[in-house]
Structure 1
């Protein structure tokens, strides 16, 4: 009896899991033929090598480094060079009040202001006390975290797939421009920091089969990840899914218990923080305290991130151009439905692929809440989740090349071009964050329906003395968001600068109606009344 190609693949797939008799029973292939084929294909030696690779985790991590030290050096240098032009960037957007305008920054009071999310405050404390208010000193931590995450990606994929897939996936992670918001923007530190600590924790967990040291270090780095951001709350779930889908091992509750305990502990603080987050968004961004059905936004969120990853032309700090036609929404809903249905297919066909599909959803989990505490789409939210898209993209190419017997080395030639294009786009995107003027000019172009973008663009015009354009932009911001108190105040201030005190007072009063906590409005209205000797105001 001649064994078919399909039968050979079946034997290879289950040889490490089932006995020869079990394979024979399920495949209807005689045991003698299976034994002949396993000897001929050298499956026994391959099985032993595979088992050794899994069980000797300490040496495999070291060997992985030694075998790939030149590539590791290359990815470190490449990533640093790509983000080098961001080191001279200014403090932008939230940086200006979180760091530049924060009188407590660099003090012990600031360091211990949120003891359960202390990691990033430690970096801020070090930067300020060593280098003062130098933007590069705060931004360098993000770049180092991104380099570290790229290396962790390489080690993880090397262990779970192979070298080619690991090289290409880690390169895409390192150079993709959608990552810029989490790296070049100082206030994007939460995403880059928690992702670094989580990926290192996951890497150590994978390599910890026979090494308790790696296991305990994995718990420690998970703690660091949770201490960096609330967005890390769902990440430890990946350990559970990994054990269930990837390792073919029995569910080990005690092994996973420490991860569950520290996640629940931080989850309690995360829930408490929801109220303060809602208050902040209401005061600073005039976002009403409402509850939304995340399922309605899910088709937009999932597909928009994939679009930005595959076509990163229009990148913005505010993704407001998400208004959909009914037909467009139905199309996105269809693809989202197909995405979830594929879970069932891959559960039976390829659990590894199912794991990485779930990885994407789990990483986005904290931003898919019924509370209005996050934007529908923000590039920093997909920083961790994008890893699964890069991997699945590379893996699809790899499988196609293998299927049609194309030399997989040609993958490198294709991806060299892709990496170069993405690197250039990342360098250009870094320059968008170079100054607050350039940032808001760029954002107003990419997000024309964002009231905050137009409010900030108006501020650019006002600071440069172009009061006419400033007034027009403030009016546009108000038209887009009629309850935008800050825009009314800024419009009043611009009218006052132009000598129009009547419209200045009118807009100051309107701003205070909309935001009673806007102390600048009281001050400006009182000072203007004092100048006019109108003490009744």
Structure 2
């Protein structure tokens, strides 16, 4: 076409612009779901050289100090969160911005790769536009913790592009390998890169020749090295706990899941976060046969009517390959998830783009002055805008936990993890009764379904909710169930000790903390909580020892200085107590409680002037501090009488 504006540069600009446009309104979202643990609590923020080393030698949740059943090897993801944290701190805007930029770059590399590999630039552009805008990607892009899939896709797509470019510029071959390694460090799905490279080269060349395929050998070698390294670091291959599901149940169930994925790609409505799947009770489940028929029909239609055969085959084989890791042949935590479609969807949009080019009349549109565009590209662009509008409408659902998971419950009522997160949200907001209801509902097991739920954490959080509601007996039962499932779970152990203490079982609480200290002698919180129990029992010498152990581990812990001061004051060691209070104020001079304790200590020693000064400061910091006001008024009245 002599006066066409369809070229690589303009296509790249259009793809980037669309990717940025449709996710711009996700930038105002907050931390949701796993973001609270990964980022909000700083669990995946690498704060020391030792953290960085552990990130490359241990599962994600091991090096973050949090228990999880998932064997995730994600050092690149942790590094990206750490970089964001260094720039943005606790502001979620920056993390969302990174996700959106990653999606834009991936969309660009998809376009550039397809432009090199496919015979039609129109198909490459249509596919990239559809990929950039498709709403099924909102879970991967609008959710900060969905970044692992983005990083892996960036590694894969960039590796493919630079591999193709290296045919003309050999220096790019090393860059391609580096991006492949980058993807492997981001998520396990990057292991598919050599297969996808084979498919892309096959589509580009139209035949099998050993010459270009020899260049894939380093990728195969790196894949083998990665598998052995991951096996060494994690002690396994899968990312979840093995669930004994017989093939007669697994096969029809996964067929139904795949049928659902096809429906989401074709008609992306009713999107939600729920991963619960009802298991097929028979290999002859009619729903599985319906899904199989739908998939077979789509494949047959694509091959017969979808357009240029090499292009269609690439799309179909790409999707089939990219779905392989998510068939639960190797145990996964989640049976289904929309974010898992991020990479497979590239093959789907290739097929759709090829069909549009075949069936939309090959008529140029536009003016001679501004250039002409094939009508198939205009149709594909229009479809991308429709999909983009759906994405823009979906993004606000990801703004906070309540909005997100209430949306999930409306669309998919049996959603244990959504219930769990609603309980978490309610607990954080002080709605403990609502939190207990949600945690209880999340633990309601449907024997016909399989769904991920961090059961010990749900039980532990239920226990803390009961504790806040004053029901220590129910809290004890919840904590005990959590520990039974997950022995050594510190959150549940500490909660159980607290509940037992409230029930007057201080000796049992002490035994729990000592058990923790047997495993981890320098466990700061165990020493601290032990000090609180001893202090409540008037075992002041042991309380002093516990608080000093805390300060030996962490000299800047203000609460330990404050509590040690209180213990020393009760033991009649006023000067030492005052020194402890001053150490606490050195950490936080704005704590009214510490100023009150200083005033109380002076008052008990008959030193009214410094006592009045300290109490006045406490009230200046907290005008509602009634104990400080009463003591100050008493001291002032005594001074007036004199």
Which TM bucket (shorter chain)? 0.7 to 0.9
Change (3 A) 1:226 1:520: closer
**What's the counterpart of residue 366 of structure 1?**
325
What do the CA deviations read for 1:66-107 (whole angstroms, capped 9, x no partner)? 944344333323322322222232222222222222367242
Alignment of 1:133-532 (within 5 A): 133-159=90-116, 160-244=118-202, 246-247=204-205, 248-252=207-211, 253-272=213-232, 275=235, 281-282=240-241, 289-290=243-244, 293=247, 295-322=251-278, 326-336=285-295, 350-402=309-361, 409-480=374-445, 484-532=455-503
Q: CA deviation at 1:255?
A: 1.8
Partners in 2 of 1:273 and 1:297 — Cα distance? 32
Give the structure 2 partner of residue 101 of structure 1: 41
CA shift, 1:208, in A, is 3.5
User: Residue deviations 1:439-484, cap 9 Å, x none?
Assistant: 2222222332121211221233344444444333222222226993
1:70–1:416 Cα change, 3 Å: closer
Structure 1 residue 276, shift from structure 2 partner: 6.0
Deviation at 1:430, TM superposition (A): 2.0
Change (3 A) 1:417 1:490: same
Paired residues for 1:4-23 under 5 Å: none
Measure how far apart 1:188 and its partner are.
1.3
Give me the whole-angstrom Cα distance separating, in 2, the residues matched to 1:357 and 1:502: 57
Distance 1:281 1:211, change over 3 A: closer
Q: Check 1:292–1:372 CA distance in 2 against 1; reply closer, same or farther (3 A cut).
A: farther
- Tell me the CA shift for residue 115 of structure 1: 3.0
d(CA) in 1 for partners of 2:298 and 2:332?
26
Taking a change above 3 Å as real, the CA distance of residues 259 and 292 of structure 1, as seen in their structure-2 partners, is: farther
| Alignment of structure 1 residues 102-141 onto 2, 5 Å | 102=42, 105-107=45-47, 108-115=49-56, 118-141=75-98
In structure 1, the gaps of 5 or more residues are: 1-45, 47-63, 283-287
Determine helix, strand or coil for the equivalent of 2:443.
helix
Work out whether residues 181 and 188 of structure 1, in 8 Å CA contact, stay in contact via their aligned partners in 2.
yes
Name the Cα RMSD after superposition.
3.4
2:149–2:187 contact (8 Å) kept in structure 1: yes
CA distance in 2, matches of 1:384, 1:149: 10
Secondary structure of the residue aligned to 1:113 is helix
Count, aligned residues? 468
Which deviations, in whole Å up to 9, do the C-alpha atoms of 1:140-176 show, x marking residues without a partner?
A: 3322221111111222233313232222211111111
Does the Cα contact within 8 Å between 2:315 and 2:349 map onto a contact in 1?
no
Check 1:161–1:375 CA distance in 2 against 1; reply closer, same or farther (3 A cut): farther
For 1:532 and 1:111, how far apart are their aligned partners in 2? 43
Query: Could you say if the C-alpha distance between residues 173 and 255 of structure 1 is closer, same or farther in structure 2, counting changes exceeding 3 Å?
Result: same
Judge conservation of contact 1:511–1:521 (CA < 8 Å) in 2. Answer: yes
Find the counterpart in structure 2 of residue 60 from structure 1.
none
State how 1:45-84 maps to structure 2 within 5 Å. Answer: 67-84=7-24
Contact 2:31–2:92 (CA<8 Å) still a contact in 1?
Answer: yes
Structure-1-length-normalised TM-score: 0.77
**Distance change in 2, residues 1:135/1:292 (3 Å):** farther
CA distance in 2 between partners of 1:102 and 1:120 (Å): 13
Measured after TM superposition, the shift of residue 508 of structure 1 is 2.6
Contact 1:233 / 1:366 at 8 angstroms: preserved in 2? no
Q: Which structure's CA Rg is the greater one?
A: 2
Deviation string 1:36-70 (CA, Å, 9 cap, x unpaired) is xxxxxxxxxx9xxxxxxxxxxxxxxxxx9994434
**Structure 2 unaligned regions, length at least 5:** 58-73, 366-372, 448-452, 509-642
SS of the residue 2:193 aligns to: coil
2:514 alignment partner in structure 1: none
Q: Whole-Å Cα distance in 2 between the matches of residues 321 and 291 of structure 1?
A: 13
Check conservation: 1:246, 1:355, Cα contact below 8 A: no
Structure-2-length-normalised TM-score: 0.65
TM-aligned CA deviation for residue 322 of structure 1: 5.0
**CA separation of 1:240 and 1:111: change in aligned 2, threshold 3 A:** same
